[in-house]
Structure 1
Amino acid sequence: MTDTGMDASGLGNVSTEDLRPISKDTLFAPDGLSHPPRILLLYGSLRERSYSRFLTLEAQRLLEAFGAETRVFDPSGLPLPDDSEADHPKVAELRDLCAWSEGQVWCSPERHGAMTGILKSQIDWVPLSVGAIRPTQGKTLALMQVSGGSQSFNAVNQMRVLGRWMRMVTIPNQSSVPKAYQEFDDDGRMKPSALYDRVVDVMEELMKFTLLVRGRSDHLVDRYSERKAERLKLQMAAREVLEASR
């Protein structure tokens, strides 16, 4: 335990005296929400030595040190979008985790100047709405990418567009790790560097945004146009009932 009261085991790269237990901050305490922030992490490679998975697991360790409850989805076995029914076990698992989460992390390699199809398939399986439930709307999102060459932001820029389209609160900060093969040791742990410090920054910011938004997302995403459309639909249904009763 550190002087902040957090378990810092496994965080050898972190200056623990500078780490803060955000989830215990009284500024972030919505009424009736005492459980830890729930964060889902997605990665975009199935390689045995997958740097996007390694980076995702580093993010998971940091989030748990900050006080979050986390889940990492394994995309192995997830069918291509539209190549299976939504009741496929992997699809159902992914959708359940999205509904469970209050924030998410998406991490993809950059392949041919873009995010991978593996990451995109996961996002494509999550619809904007399932009945009256919107699995992503109002949830927070942090973005990261790894590259085999020089630093690039193509994948995170693409994912940022997707995050907005999925009506997520996409945080300003982001992480891009160039020449990822140089940044991880033989055990898949990220080496100390300014790039690692940026990952800490991004996870800290995600925690703050999640704690600010959760419990308030229904209000934040309440839209005039949708209220108007719903009112008109109810009025039309009422007229149809009235006409049918005459």
Structure 2
Amino acid sequence: MNNHELPNLRSDVFKVPEPSDNAEQPRILLLYGSLRERSFSRLVSEESARLLQAMGAQTRTFNPSGLPLPDDADSSHPKVQELRELVQWCDGMVWCSPERHGAMTSIMKAQIDWIPLSIGAVRPTQGKTLAVMQVSGGSQSFNAVNQLRILGRWMRLLTIPNQSSVPKAFMEFDDNDRMKPSPYYNRIVDVMEELVKFTLLTRDRKAYLTDRYSERVETADELSKRVNQRSI
């Protein structure tokens, strides 16, 4: 990432999060919640991707255009398969939704609903990191990020404490669709920095962090049942 691609960053204070012993770049998937030609949730996601790359992360962004409604197609649909493969690929995610009628958009929710809690023996989201963001056409609100945070917890994602909400998003971008310098831009830098740090700290400890007593009980009971069946 060239410095000229991030003109709003102050190089004297910008820091790249230090990698852990595992030098592999963190892999971050970005989802946005609008199909408008000039989608501000997409533009925020693009700014976020540039920042993540400057911080040493690999990024991929899913385009929700063509994704069917949940239950309106089989899971073999190409867009569903693309989304699920990206979720399995990543170490962490960024969800950015517009607020519509006081809530996240149906486009954002449909993407999340197509992500299962398990695919065979694989849990594609458990233990991975998540950052939540929203854009609004009016005054600042936190309805969408609050809902996204609930969904992140339900999907067993490690949702970071920081978040971003950009009000009157149409005023925050220039004619080249780049975000203007502002406290809102600085907050997005904060969120991406925190996401990379949490990802670096936790990605190699997912098995430890998600090891649960209740699941160990179920595993032990199942093993005992199989042993008893063999002895009959």
Cα drift, residue 21 of structure 1 = 1.9
Structure 2 residue identity aligned to 1:81: P
Q: Secondary structure at the match of 1:161?
A: helix
Which residue of 2 is the match for residue 75 of structure 1? 64
The percent of aligned pairs where both chains have the same amino acid is 63
Aligned residue runs from structure 1 range 124-139, under 5 A? 124-139=113-128
What is the match of residue 9 of structure 1? 4
Amino acid at match of 2:230: V
Q: For residue 185 of structure 1, report the CA deviation from its aligned partner.
A: 1.2
Cα deviations across residues 140-192 of structure 1 (Å, max 9, x unaligned)? 00010000000000000000000001001000000000001111112211111
* TM-score, normalization by structure 2: 0.97
Shift of 1:235: 1.3
Question: Is 1:93–2:88 an aligned residue pair?
Answer: no
Q: Does 1:214 align with 2:199?
A: no
**Cα distance in 2 for residues equivalent to 1:233 and 1:83:** 36
Residue 17 of structure 1: how far off its partner (Å)? 1.6
Picking from 201, 216, 239, the partner of 2:228 is 239
Report whether the alignment pairs 1:62 with 2:32.
Answer: no
Counterpart code for 1:104 = M
1:116 is matched with which residue: 75, 80, 105?
105
Residue in structure 1 matched with residue 153 of structure 2 by the alignment? 164
Partner residue, 1:29: 20
Which whole-Å CA distance do the structure 2 matches of 1:39 and 1:71 have between them? 7
- What is the RMSD computed on CA atoms of the aligned residues? 1.0
Which TM-score applies when normalising by structure 1?
Answer: 0.92
- Determine helix, strand or coil for the equivalent of 1:16: coil
Aligned length: 232
Tell me by how many angstroms 1:12 deviates: 0.5
Name the counterpart of 2:14. 19
Give the match's secondary structure for 2:52: helix
The CA deviation at 1:29 is 1.6
Q: Distance in 1 between matches of 2:16 and 2:185?
A: 19
Query: Is it true that 1:45 corresponds to 2:34 in the alignment?
Result: yes
- Partner residue in 1 for 2:186: 197
Structure 1 runs (4+) deviating above 4 angstroms are none
Alignment of 1:171-182 (within 5 A): 171-182=160-171
Deviation larger for 98-107 or 6-15: 6-15
How far did 1:238 drift? 2.2
Greater displacement, 75-84 / 7-16: 7-16
Tell me by how many angstroms 1:237 deviates: 2.2
Distance in 1 between residues matched to 2:75 and 2:12, nearest whole Å? 46
| Runs of at least 5 residues in structure 1 that lack an aligned partner in the other structure | 1-5
CA distance in 2, matches of 1:86, 1:233: 29
d(CA) in 2 for partners of 1:40, 1:87: 21
